[in-house]
Amino acid sequence: MNALNDSNALPASQAKIAVVTGAGSGIGRAVAVELLRTGWSVALAGRKPETLEETAALVPEAPSLVVRTDVSRPDDVAALFDAAHERFGRLDLLFNNAGTFGPGGVPVEELPYEAWLHVVNTNLNGAFLCAQAAYRRMKEQDPQGGRIINNGSISAHTPRPLSVAYTATKHALTGLTKSLSLDGRPYRIACGQIDIGNAATDMTERMRTGALQANGETAVEPVMDVADVARTVRHMAELPLEANVQFATVLATAMPYVGRG
């Protein structure tokens, strides 16, 4: 569908610019496609250029930019935001989405430090580096301001068994969100967080065959359409900067979260 003919699309005069990390698959791809098809221009960031190109090809008529980026590397992050600025001239939205679960099912006492560090570098340090770069652009541009949406998780509230690295980083993202939201007020920089439970992606494929529960049993869990997450992110993104969804939780209705454990 041509975004210009989509009744939900932004008018050309209101077209906005986004950076989406982890845009080559899963939630990142779904959000990028939702934005592209509704009038946004999007810089697609991720480690694999070929999957980013596949995302861009899903909405070929929309303005997009593919930038190979490892969010845990400061030089890569700087190059991403420089490229987005050079191509589009400003930044209205960062969807801070890149992340990794790490080695699931490993007891705390057996988790290698290298595995812990990989998860922290991607989920937390990467989110900070991207938020910092976006914050600088949003503070300096004219008109000033913009929005950062961090992809938290249900695990930012309640852990799954044997997921210490992932859970710790997602709890830390909540603190990052709150600090950015507070510090961004003078510059019209809004920051919110979306906590997602069991969106149907490759990362959650195991839910359909059985996931370890807090009582030690393995159970199949329901999932939801990732497009419903993408529409929620777009709603958050398109609010005026005078309004902010600070935290949103979107989950498969019957998943074991409320009362988990």
CATH number, domain of 149, equals 3.40.50.720
Backbone angles phi, psi at 71, to 5 degrees: -65, -15
Amino acid of residue 177: T
pLDDT of residue 55: 98
> Is 113 among the catalytic positions?
no
Q: Is the pLDDT of residue 1 over 50?
A: no
Q: Is the pLDDT of residue 247 over 80?
A: yes
Of the candidate ranges 17-21, 30-34, 54-58, 211-215, the one whose mean pLDDT is the lowest: 211-215
Of the candidate ranges 32-36, 159-163, 205-209, 222-226, the one whose mean pLDDT is the lowest: 205-209
Q: How far apart are CA 34 and CA 235, in angstroms?
A: 11
pLDDT of residue 105: 83
Report if residue 118 sits inside a domain: yes
Q: Is the pLDDT of residue 208 over 80?
A: no
Of the candidate ranges 50-54, 58-62, 206-210, 247-251, the one whose mean pLDDT is the lowest: 206-210
Report if residue 120 sits inside a domain: yes
Of the candidate ranges 135-144, 182-191, 207-216, 248-257, the one whose mean pLDDT is the lowest: 207-216
Task: Tell me the mean pLDDT in the region 105-117.
Answer: 95
Q: Is the pLDDT of residue 77 over 90?
A: yes
Report if residue 167 sits inside a domain: yes
Segments forming the whole domain that contains residue 242: 17-251
Report if residue 30 sits inside a domain: yes
Burial environment of residue 62 by CB neighbours within 10 A (0 to 12, 13 to 18, 19 or more): buried
Backbone angles phi, psi at 171, to 5 degrees: -65, -40
The strand pairing partners of 9, in sequence order, are: none
Report if residue 9 sits inside a domain: no
pLDDT of residue 15: 79
DSSP-assigned states of every residue in 38-94: TT-EEEEEES-HHHHHHHHHTSTTS-EEEEE--TTSHHHHHHHHHHHHHHHS---EE
Of the candidate ranges 169-183, 213-227, 243-257, the one whose mean pLDDT is the lowest: 213-227
Report if residue 125 sits inside a domain: yes
* Residue 12 or residue 239, greater confidence: 239
Report if residue 143 sits inside a domain: yes
Q: How far apart are CA 191 and CA 246, in angstroms?
A: 7
Q: How far apart are CA 102 and CA 118, in angstroms?
A: 8
pLDDT of residue 2: 30
Burial environment of residue 35 by CB neighbours within 10 A (0 to 12, 13 to 18, 19 or more): buried
Instruction: Point out the catalytic residue in the list 113, 135, 166, 257.
Output: 166
**pLDDT interval class at 3 (50, 70, 90):** very low
Count of the separate structural domains present in the chain: 1
Is-contact 44 55, C-beta < 8 A?
yes
Q: How far apart are CA 72 and CA 84, in angstroms?
A: 18
Average pLDDT in the chain: 92
Helix or strand holding residue 227 (H, E) = helix 226-237
What percent of the chain has pLDDT above 90? 75
Write the DSSP symbol of residue 211. Answer: E
pTM: 0.91
Asked if the bond preceding 63 is cis, omega within 30° of 0, the reply is no
Q: Which two tokens stand for residue 183?
A: 């510090």
Report if residue 256 sits inside a domain: no
Task: Tell me the mean pLDDT in the region 127-154.
Answer: 97
The strand pairing partners of 151, in sequence order, are: 194
pLDDT of residue 34: 98
Distances (CA, A) of 261 to 101, 217, 224, 256: 20, 11, 21, 9
Q: Is the pLDDT of residue 4 over 50?
A: no
Q: How far apart are CA 32 and CA 19, in angstroms?
A: 9
pLDDT of residue 116: 96
